[in-house]
Amino acid sequence: MSFVEVLDKGYVRLVNHMGSDLTVVNAARVSYAKESSELNEKDIRLIRFLAREGHTSPFRHVILQYEIYAPLMVARQWWKYVIGASHAEGTGDSLEAWNESSRRYITEEPVFYVPGPDEWRSKPENSKQGSGEVLSAETGGQLTKELIDYIEAGVQKYEAALQAGVCAEQARLFLPAYGMYVRWYWTASLQSVCHFLSQRLEHDAQKEIQSYAKAILELSKPLYPASIHELIEQTKSDSE
């Protein structure tokens, strides 16, 4: 599997990857001029030890590349992991890269995330969470309609500006921003991917980005089952 649909129109696609659980093991064992040819239980115990003790550099020898299509509000949350990766405690140099499509150069038809009537959430009772229970279908239906009307008005003004000769980089100011889908390539080490997963799979993560984290996990775990399991489990243990 290399493609998972997310939300109403989004997706995550695994473009490329390098290495395996064995790569992690051999990167760790090179200090002793040793190498494994096939992953065994002893190797898995070594991966568990590396994750538990915070010896993370071997996990950075594994690289994954994804294409992601998501609302801007998700992209901007995700971007924090790129700009903060080399400064976060225990992550070190995460070997990350991010390239995003730009409406300065493209004028393809804008696409927007529109929650369905049963997907609007209430304010949270706990300020540490982003949202609460699902609102009534009646309220949700009205909100969906209002959002669609708002988007259509913005798109009409955007297209009118283009037809009037306005450059694309300024005409985009008329587009409602946070729900607009953007496309980007994210290339990251396995350590960095697991750092993202450990935080965005949590129950209090925003539901939309949580859905993308689940897609990343679904695409990645079959490739690196031992490493991903140990890195995520260790992060959970550290937070308890």
Q: Give the single-character DSSP code of 55.
A: -
Of 67, 29, 61, nearest to 46 by C-alpha is: 29
pLDDT in tens, 49-64: 999 999 999 999 999 9
Are 19 and 85 part of one and the same domain?
A: yes
pLDDT tens column, 12-48: 999 999 999 999 999 999 877 778 889 999 999 999 9
Q: Where are the alpha helices (DSSP H) in 84-189?
A: 137-163, 168-171
Q: Name the band, by pLDDT with cuts 50, 70 and 90, for residue 91.
A: very low
Q: Are residues 54 and 135 in the same domain?
A: no
What are the pLDDT digits (tens) for 119-154? Answer: 999 988 776 667 889 999 999 999 999 999 999 999
User: Length of the chain in residues, anyone?
Assistant: 240
* SS3 category, 101: coil
What share of the chain has pLDDT > 70, as a percent? 89
Which residue range is the domain that position 52 belongs to? 3-105+180-239
Which among 178, 209, 231 is the end of a domain? 178
Is 219 in contact with 14 (CB distance < 8 Å)?
yes
Can you list the alpha helix ranges (DSSP code H) found in the chain? 21-29, 41-53, 72-83, 137-163, 168-171, 190-200, 207-220, 225-239
Same domain membership, residue 88 and residue 118:
no
Q: In this predicted structure, what is the pLDDT of residue 85? A: 56
93 and 25 in one domain? yes
Of 178, 203, 225, which residue constitutes the final position of a domain?
178
Say which amino acid occupies 161.
A
User: Which residues contact residue 96 at a Cβ distance below 8 angstroms, ignoring those fewer than 6 apart?
Assistant: 81, 82, 85, 186, 187, 188, 189, 192
Q: The CATH number of the domain where 223 resides is what?
A: 3.30.1360.170
Question: What pLDDT does residue 237 have?
Answer: 58
Cα–Cα distance between 128 and 105 in angstroms, integer? 39
Residue spans of beta strands (DSSP E) within the chain = 3-6, 10-18, 63-71, 97-100, 181-189
For residue 134, give both structure tokens.
């699902």
Both 78 and 14 in a single domain? yes
The answer on 7 and 84 residing in a single domain is yes
Residues 70 and 162 in one domain: no
Answer yes or no: do 76 and 20 share one domain: yes
Number of folded domains that form the chain? 2
pTM: 0.89
Q: Is 200 a catalytic residue?
A: yes
Using only the alpha carbons of the chain, give its radius of gyration: 21
Query: Does 81 lie in the same domain as 42?
Result: yes
Catalytic residue among 60, 172, 183, 200: 200
* 190 shares a domain with 164: no
Query: Domain boundary residue among 132, 151, 178?
Result: 178
Which residues on neighbouring strands pair with residue 67, listed in sequence order?
13, 185
**What is the dihedral sign for C-alpha 18, 21, 23, 24?**
positive
91 and 196 part of one domain: yes
On whether both 69 and 154 belong to a single domain, the answer is no
Kindly give the pairing relationship between strand 10-18 and strand 3-6. antiparallel
For residue 92, count other CB atoms closer than 10 A to its CB.
16
> Distance between CA 69 and CA 111 in Å, rounded?
10
